[in-house]
Amino acid sequence: MIILHADTNHPTLMKKLEEAGHHNIEGYEQSREETLQNQHLYDGIVIRSRYKIDREFIDAAPNLKFIARVGAGLESIDVDYAEERGIKLFSAPEGNRNAVGEHALGMLLSLFNRLNKADKEVREGLWHREENRGVELDGKTVGLIGYGNMGKAFAKKLRGFDVDVIFYDIKDGIADENARQVGYDEFFEKADVVSLHTPWTEDTHQMINKEFISKFKKPFWFINTARGKSVVTADLVDALKEEKVLGAGLDVLEYEKASFESLFSNKKNVSISAADPIPDALRELMFMPHTLLSPHVAGWTKESHEGLATVIADKIIAEFGEGDYKK
């Protein structure tokens, strides 16, 4: 097959595909429009998040056999239309689930022990011990929303702590030795920590909002390593002010560009001071001492970089076998 690579990835991906006899085309600098003009030439396309694969794109690719996204989700692809056209879809949540689990745990422990706040203060010459007294994770109930690859990886990381791990998921019967499945009533009653591990869909869009937060019986800590648009930031900020949410670790933000490559839809790699205007809710969030922010890097480790590439290559080869270019 002739395979277009629209984004850069770990070299393992192209190496494995080449060794299996497929021909790789590097299209890193091509715009979406340039790719559309030549899409009839390709049998497959490998993307990350640089642009969307919609009906127009798919219609311009009569020979397309597969679309592979080197990442966990497929929200940048019109999945229904691709499947209607018989196009195979690949993603690689197995490749970065461990990284996400570690990142979520790191955020949680940092928030509990005020590490980001304490570090900043010590660097400024301040020695506030009582103000930075932490809380312990042991004895808490950690609630996960979504128990797929990412949720299961986080639950596994929590095994070394004396915690009760519960989860809510729309699929039934998926509990394992690391977590037990509960209904929303028990989830809202018992959770001390809420960690989001859902894909972005119409159902999860803005699901963490004022109404949702109000259902919890006690204040909780919030972690989001999933998708930013699943959270209404203004409602989260209000909950932090009202201490309904005790602290928030956010690897993803509502305002980030759809490609995940920059924070604002019309800005790329600019400092916050250069972004005008900054949403009021984000501005408030940034200056709250009990929040921890990172730039959508939970699954972005050196190991996962290669892992994602390996998973995608193996899935393509398993489905389509060896190509005519194999020596």
Q: Which residues are catalytic?
A: 227, 256, 296
* Alpha carbon of residue 144 to chain centroid: 14
Beta bridge partners of 5: 26, 46
Q: Print the SS3 string covering 82-146.
A: HHHCCCEEECCHHHHHHHHHHHHHHHHHHHHCCHHHHHHHHHCCCCCCHHHCCCCCCCCEEEEEC
Instruction: Report DSSP state, residue 49.
Output: S
Q: Dihedral (C-alpha) 265, 230, 103, 167: value to the nearest 10 degrees?
A: -170
Helix, strand, coil fractions of the chain, as percent rounded to 5 = 40, 15, 45
DSSP assignments along 3-47, one per residue: EEE-S---HHHHHHHHHTT-EEEE-TT--HHHHHHHGGG-SEEEE
3 state SS of 165: strand
